[in-house]
Amino acid sequence: MITVSGIPFQQSGQLPLSSIERVIIQGMQNDSVVYSFQSIDELSFELKLRKNIVESAREMDQGDSHFEPFEESYCNPGYWNLTIAGGFQLKKGVKPSEAILDIYRNSSLYAFECATAMIIIYYHATLKSIGENVFNQLFQNIYLYSWHFDPDLGIHTIHTEQFLPGDVVYFNNPDVDPDTSWWRGENAVVLEDGTFFGHGLGIRTAWHMIQLLNEKRKQGSIRSAFLTNSVTRPTFKHLAHITHIPQRAPVHKLQYIVIHHNESSISCSRYLKYLMTYR
């Protein structure tokens, strides 16, 4: 169910929708959870950002970036410094927007694991949603490593079995072969047609994702990989509000500590547990 200013929302042409946005609206309306918005603009922003997350995921799938664990990661040195941990630190003097766009424009120069891929997709989709000027003001200290994120993205996880396009879900592989530990799971974007995009596995159905992960289990395992009920999302409302604040002199923003865990392909909920341990 959707409410706007406390009133049940009824689509009557007042909000022009793309085909992806119509699927998102239908998913919200069919959910037992109430999606409440203060205004049509707030609802419109979430629809736009979710649509852009889906489109950014599909664009990454069509690119040439490789899946690699942290120790084998690489990036374009014209925009990023590769850290010893396998992270990408934005170079001084480089616009954040240009660095994120370069990952898509020159994708063959990049390799990263699937959690980092999700953060790249979030930044790329947010850039398309808010424009370069606001993006460059908000995200001046981008560091790409696993699920590390800028506080203004407001990334969080919830437990639900109802997925919407633009959500990120996690396929867990509990009996992963220790020799290929980077297949311990797969972070994947929910697409509008019910399929999922996971960096390294591409666009697949849930059944196919699970079968591919099952091929990476240790010998003798009888436990199947499975789709968890952990859903990761940015805080859409915060982004909608902060991007409409009149531009002013940048304010120093405290960044989250980076947890260099060296465990490729972990879930966001696992990373957040690590983060809470050190806060």
Give me the tens of pLDDT residue by residue for the chain, a chain 279 residues long: 888 887 888 776 667 889 999 999 999 999 888 899 898 999 999 999 999 999 999 999 999 999 999 999 999 999 999 999 999 999 999 999 999 999 999 999 999 999 999 999 999 999 999 999 999 999 999 999 999 999 999 999 999 989 999 999 999 999 999 999 999 999 999 999 999 999 999 999 999 999 999 999 999 898 999 999 999 999 999 999 887 765 554 557 888 999 999 999 999 999 999 998 876
- The tokens describing 121, both together, are 């997709």
Per-residue model confidence (pLDDT) at position 247: 58
Per-residue model confidence (pLDDT) at position 228: 97
* Amino acid at the residue 232: T
- Alpha carbons 73 and 168: distance in angstroms, whole number: 22
- Alpha carbons 88 and 74: distance in angstroms, whole number: 8
8-state DSSP, 86: S
What is the torsional sign of CA 268, 269, 273, 278?
A: positive
Q: Is 68 helix (H, G, I), strand (E, B) or coil?
A: coil
Per-residue model confidence (pLDDT) at position 10: 79
Sequence-distant (≥ 6) Cβ neighbours of residue 236 within 8 angstroms: 42, 45, 46, 49, 50
Strand runs labelled E in the chain: 2-4, 7-8, 35-37, 66-67, 80-82, 88-90, 111-112, 143-144, 156-159, 168-172, 185-190, 196-198, 202-204, 226-233
Per-residue model confidence (pLDDT) at position 19: 92
* Predicted TM-score of the model (pTM): 0.95
- Alpha carbons 188 and 269: distance in angstroms, whole number: 14
Per-residue model confidence (pLDDT) at position 245: 63
H or E stretch including 134?
A: helix 132-138
- Alpha carbons 197 and 67: distance in angstroms, whole number: 13
* Amino acid at the residue 54: V
